Each structure stands twice: as C-alpha cells, then as structure tokens.
Amino acid sequence: MINTDSNQIIVTDPAKQRWIIYSIAFAAFMCMLDNYIVNISLPAISKSLNVGIDGVSWIVIVYLLILTSAIPFFGKLGDRVGLIKLFIVGYLVFVLGSILCSISSSLYVLIFSRSLQALGGAILYTVPSAIITRFLPPEKRGYSFGILATAAAVGFAMGAPLGGLITANFGWQGVFLINIPIGIIAIIIVLRKFPREKEISLIREKFDIPGVFYCFFWLVTLMFSLNTGRKFGWTSPLIVGSFLVSLVFLFLFIRQENNFKFPLLNLKLFRIKSFTYPNLANFFVFMAANGTNFVLPFYLIYALGLSPEKAGLVLMAFPLTNMIIGPLAGKASDKMISSRSLCIIGASISLIATIIFPFSMYFQGLWPVVTFLFITGFSLGIFLPPNNNQIMSAAPKDAPGVASGILRTLTNLGSVIGVAIFEIIFSLFFVERNTNIGIQSKTLSGFSPESIISGLHFVIILAAVLYGLAIIFSFLTPKKQIIK
C-alpha cells in the first residue's frame, strides 16, 4: 500500500481492495435491508406485544429519525477517531441493538432497542463512502460506488420478501436475529482485512458539542414533521410547531458553525461547486424517484386492480435494474466516460421516461408501468455511482467523513421530502377532483381509476421538473474532476 499523506492510506493490493469494497457494500446492504425488512413484520409484532398499528409504526419511524439525524455527527467523528475504528463500532452497536430488539418484551423496550440499532445503522450508512475515498485509488472509486449502490438496491429489493419469509417461519424476532451472526462475521473481516489507520491529528480539536445538539434536533424535528404529517395532519398544531422548532434549530446550527473554530460542518464546503452541485442533483433525483415510487402503488392497486403482493413484485423492477447497471456505470466513470457526462445522461433518460409515462398509461396491461420502472431504475443506476464519485472526489482530503455525512443526509432528506411533497400534492389534487362524489372515507377504494390517473399525472409533472433540476446542476458541475 502507498501512503499519500499523513491521514490517507491508498490500498494497492487488488485482493485487499476487493475485501474493502465488498465489506462496505455489505454494510450498505445490511443498513438498507433493516430499513424495510421490519415493515412486513409489524402486524406480527402488533399481535405479539398487544399494541395497535399506530404504536408499532413508531418502530419504523424512530429508526428513520435516528438514522438520518445522527449521520452528520458520525461523519465528523470518523474523521477524528478513524474510519475503520468507527466502522467496527457501528457493527457492534448494530448487533447489540439487534439482540435487544429480538428479546424485547414491550413496545417501549423495542423502540429503545430499535433506536440503538439505528445509531449503528447511521455509522454503517455514513462511513463506507468515506472509506472508499480514503483507502481506494481514484481509478477504483467509481466502480466501488457502483457496488455500494447495488448493495443498497439489493437490500431494498429483498427487505419485504425476506422479512415475510423469516416472520412466517421464525417469528418477528427472526428479522433481528439474522443480523447477529452476519454482523459478527463482518467485524472479523474488517479486523483482519482492513488496513491500519494512522493517528489523526484532528483528535486534538475541541469538539463542536453545541453544533451536534443543534444539528441533531434540527434534523429530528424536520424528519418527524415530514414522516408523521400525513398521520397527524399537515396543518395540525403538532406538525406546524415541529416545523417551526426545526427552523429555530437550523438557524442556531448555522450561527454556531459560522462562529466556532472547529465546526461540526464547515459551511465553506458548499463554496466548492464540484461538491455542492452534484449534491443538489442527487437531492433532486431522490426527491423525484422516491416521490414517484410512493404514489405508484395507489395507481397499481386502485387503478389497475392489482393485489398488494403483485404490486410489490411490479415495483421491484426499479431496484433490480438499478443494481444491475450500477457497477457498470461506476466502472465506466473510472475509465471511459466522465462522471459529469454519465450524470447528465442518467438524469436525462429519467426525465424522458417520466414525460412519456403519462401518455403510455392509457394502453392496456402492465407494460407501460413496468417499462417506466425499468427505464428509471436503469437511468438512476447510470446516475448514482458517478454522482457519488464526483461528490467524494471533490471533498477535502482530511474530511471524507464529513463529506459522506453531507451526502447521506441530503440523500435521506431528498427521499423523505419527496414522499411528503408528492403525498400532499397528490392528496390535495385528488380530493379536489372528487368533491362531487361525497365520499368521506380516507381510503381510496371508492374513487374511480380515472381520478387516480389524473392525480398521478399531476405529480408526474413535478417529478419531471425535479429531474430537470438534476440535469441542470449536473451540467453546472465543473468538467474537471478534482481527485483528492
């Protein structure tokens, strides 16, 4: 291996490179899998613990709240104490949280245990991108980000079916127990195959405790509002108050970061165009993709008449194509085509598919929606690895953890904000178009397929605008790649 600076170690041994790539990919898979594997076991948990669905829904909400809100802190911490050390701690905390989840005898204990698991998940979600940048050579990074995206897509695709299989045969505890042996194996691999880090001088800095506090509660209150607005009502005092509190903490966070000598997040990073513009493009892509995928089940079930099981199988077309093309696009960005060009191509294909989709919906059968999902999954497989490569390559050498934290925070925020905005617009438009039929129920079963299609058309326009913004920011990204 070659030392390129005091903090960076480039691994040149191909065998060790593979161990690093597949180990961090496994962490991404594990983290994304646990985002979705629990959902299908919620009815069994509800019955076992004798609590309502509203209660067990917090098992999912708390995981997402803690996961996203802790990312910036762990990004900074990785740069201070060492990425490998923190990566191992992430696995240990995740495994411990999984053990406690599996033996929980009440909802409150399970929610606490799930919160602990989310802290480990936040580390496993944040650190891999930084490890790629710090330990792998530039010509391997695009491919590595492709493998990372593929692993996340596999975790997303396998979550529901694997969760259902485990719950049916081993009970809901099994969805947590499965993490224990594979987590232990992953820790052994990291200890034996990963390089040793040098002492990091940043450890002598004074840690930005107020910044951690403000950032955490800004994200917690924002994510709470976005995730539960539909449940409590977007204009309810709880949600409006939560949004206002979030704005207050955001103001305090920005003021703290501008005045503190060693900030949690150096806001000057956003002056780097090759870092900021790809981040914004990634943010808008995740808003569009997740917002669209949130609305499509309503179309499949209530307009096309599919069962939830069949609708789930149709929706798997998106992650399946995404995970196939991701490594290829990543490798292409390393050797043949510039990352900037691939991002523009990927976002443009998504835009074209989104524009065409509303016109194709009037044809019979499932082929229009399946084709749309295949094409958008394919195009985002082209977009994401080179986009992540752009972002991390533009980050300062001494702060890959912070850069990764920003990337993953904006990714999650884009996903959640996209779902929230698409749900608001779809619901408002849908109610307005159906006021004459006098249905008071909150379900969609009484509405006509035509009205659902009309509502879908409206939100598809928003998706097209968001993909257009992603193209613009990808185009504005400087052509010259800054490899750190």
Average pLDDT over residues 29-44: 78
The CA distance from 350 to 186, in Å, is 36
Q: Is the pLDDT of residue 388 over 90?
A: no
Higher pLDDT, 426 or 85: 85
Q: Name beta bridge partners: 228.
A: none
When mean pLDDT is compared over 62-66, 306-310, 443-447, 454-458, the highest value belongs to 62-66
Q: Is the pLDDT of residue 413 over 50?
A: yes
pLDDT band at 5 (very low <50, low <70, confident <90, very high): very low
Direct distance between the N- and C-terminal alpha carbons of the chain, in angstroms, rounded to an integer: 17
Q: Is the pLDDT of residue 399 over 80?
A: no
Average pLDDT over residues 249-275: 85
pLDDT band at 95 (very low <50, low <70, confident <90, very high): very high
- Relative to beta strand 2-3, strand 9-10 is antiparallel
H or E element that contains 184: helix 179-193
H or E element that contains 1: none
Higher pLDDT, 443 or 318: 318
Q: Is the pLDDT of residue 203 over 80?
A: no
> Which positions ≥6 away from 232 have C-beta within 8 Å?
238, 239
Exposed, middle or buried, 110 (CB in 10 Å: 0-12/13-18/19+)?
buried
> What is the structure's pLDDT at 209?
84
Which tokens in the block code for residue 202? 């940043």
pLDDT band at 337 (very low <50, low <70, confident <90, very high): confident
Least confident of 67-81, 111-125, 440-454, 466-480: 440-454
Q: Is the pLDDT of residue 346 over 60?
A: yes
Higher pLDDT, 220 or 469: 469
Q: Is the pLDDT of residue 174 over 80?
A: yes
Exposed, middle or buried, 76 (CB in 10 Å: 0-12/13-18/19+)?
buried
> What is the structure's pLDDT at 285?
94
The CA distance from 368 to 272, in Å, is 41
Q: Give me the residue spans of the domains in the chain.
A: 1-205, 208-261, 266-433+441-484
> What is the structure's pLDDT at 278?
93
Q: Is the pLDDT of residue 431 over 70?
A: no
> What is the structure's pLDDT at 222?
87
> What is the structure's pLDDT at 225?
86
Least confident of 36-45, 370-379, 412-421: 36-45
When mean pLDDT is compared over 64-73, 95-104, 164-173, the highest value belongs to 95-104
pLDDT band at 419 (very low <50, low <70, confident <90, very high): confident
Rounded to the nearest integer, the mean pLDDT of the chain is 81
Greatest Cα-to-Cα distance within the chain, rounded to the nearest angstrom = 71
Phi, psi for 318 (deg, rounded to 5): -65, -60
Least confident of 26-30, 123-127, 166-170, 408-412: 166-170
Least confident of 85-89, 101-105, 136-140: 136-140
Exposed, middle or buried, 69 (CB in 10 Å: 0-12/13-18/19+)?
buried
Average pLDDT over residues 371-378: 90
> What is the structure's pLDDT at 440?
36
Q: Do domains 1-205 and 266-433+441-484 have the same CATH topology?
A: yes
Return the closest-CA partner of residue 398 out of 5, 126, 125. 5
Least confident of 283-287, 334-338, 408-412, 442-446: 442-446
> What is the structure's pLDDT at 11?
72
Least confident of 89-93, 270-274, 333-337, 353-357: 333-337
Q: Is the pLDDT of residue 439 over 60?
A: no
> What is the structure's pLDDT at 332?
75
Q: Which CATH superfamily is domain 266-433+441-484 in?
A: MFS general substrate transporter like domains (1.20.1250.20)
Average pLDDT over residues 241-260: 90
CATH of 1-205, one of 1.20.1250.20, 3.40.50.300, 2.40.50.100, 3.20.20.80: 1.20.1250.20
Do 7 and 200 touch, CB atoms closer than 8 A? yes
Least confident of 107-111, 244-248, 447-451, 454-458: 447-451
Q: Is the pLDDT of residue 260 over 90?
A: no
